[in-house]
A = this chain, B = another copy of it.
C-alpha cells in the first residue's frame, strides 16, 4: 500500500528593494513548492532571480504568486479591476517570473493567486474567470493552486486546467470545512507542534479537527505553510519533520 503524498507550499520572494520579508533561504530547505511574488504586490527582479536560482538548485517547484498591482498595500486590498485588465496583469507577472525560472533552468510550474485576489476569486466570478483566462492563454498545461470550493477552481476545471486544492496548516476550520475568519478568536494557530499534528492528519486522512471539536474533511494535495511570520521557518520545519515521521512523502504536486 503506497503511503500518503503531499506538497508543502509557501509564499516566497516577498521583499522589495532594500526591504526583506521572511527567510526565503530557510523555507526553501523545507517546502516543495514556492509561490514566488512577481513584482506587483512584492518581489523585484533581484529577488525573483535569486529565489528562482535557489529553488531550482533545491528541486523546489516555482509557482507564480500573481496579485493585484498594489505595492503599497501588499496586494491585500480588493481592487475593482476590469476582468480584461486583470488577465493582462496576470500575464505580465507570469511572463516576468517565467523568464527568471527559465534562466535558472526550469520554468513556472503552477499559478497561485495572492492575498486579496486569492480571497476575491473564491466568489467573484468575473475576476476568477479573468485569472483562468490568463493561465489558459499563457500555458493551458499549467496547474492552478487554490481553495477547495472556490469559483476560481471551479471555472479553471471547467476550462480544462489542472486544479490543485490546498489546506492551511495554521488556520482554524469551521465544521463546514471553511476557514474561520482571521478576525475571530482562535482563527490562526501558532503552536508548532499543534500545527504539525494537523498537517499530518490533513495529509494522511484528509481531515482536520474543526474549531467546534468536530472532525471535518479537508481535501489537500498541497499544504500551505506561512512564511512571513516570526518563527515561520521553525513551524515549517516542524510540519515537515512530523510528515516525514508519519511516512508521508513530500514532493511537488507538479512532479510526474
Binding site for B on A (CB under 8 A): 15-21, 39, 42, 44-46, 48-49, 69-74, 76-82, 84-85, 88-89, 91-100, 102-103, 116, 137-138
CA distance A188 to B243 in the complex (A): 46
CA distance A89 to B47 in the complex (A): 11
CA distance A91 to B46 in the complex (A): 10
Are A92 and B45 in contact (CB-based, < 8 A)? yes
Q: List, sorted by A's number, 7 A–B pairs whose CB atoms are closer than 8 Å.
A: A19-B20, A46-B88, A48-B88, A71-B71, A95-B96, A96-B96, A99-B138
CA distance A84 to B44 in the complex (A): 13
CA distance A19 to B100 in the complex (A): 24
- Given contacts A45-B91, A78-B79, A95-B102, list 11 more A-B pairs with CB under 8 A: A16-B16, A18-B76, A44-B72, A49-B91, A78-B78, A92-B99, A92-B100, A94-B99, A95-B95, A95-B97, A96-B99
Are B95 and A17 in contact (CB-based, < 8 A)? no
Smallest Cβ distance from A88 to chain B, in angstroms?
4
Closest 9 CB pairs of A and B: A95-B99, A19-B19, A45-B88, A78-B80, A45-B92, A18-B74, A96-B96, A95-B96, A17-B72
Smallest Cβ distance from A139 to chain B, in angstroms?
9
Are A46 and B85 in contact (CB-based, < 8 A)? yes
Smallest Cβ distance from A16 to chain B, in angstroms?
6
Are B45 and A85 in contact (CB-based, < 8 A)? yes
CA distance A16 to B16 in the complex (A): 9
Residues of B within 8 A of A85 (CB): 45-46, 73
Residues of B within 8 A of A82 (CB): 77
Contact for A80 among B45, B77, B99, CB less than 8 A: B77
Are B92 and A39 in contact (CB-based, < 8 A)? yes
Q: Which residue of B lies closest to A18 (CB)?
A: B74
CA distance A4 to B31 in the complex (A): 57
CA distance A91 to B45 in the complex (A): 8
Residues of B within 8 A of A91 (CB): 45, 49, 99-100, 103
Q: Which residue of B lies closest to A80 (CB)?
A: B78
CA distance A205 to B140 in the complex (A): 49
Residues of B within 8 A of A44 (CB): 72, 88
Q: Which residue of B lies closest to A77 (CB)?
A: B80
CA distance A64 to B217 in the complex (A): 49
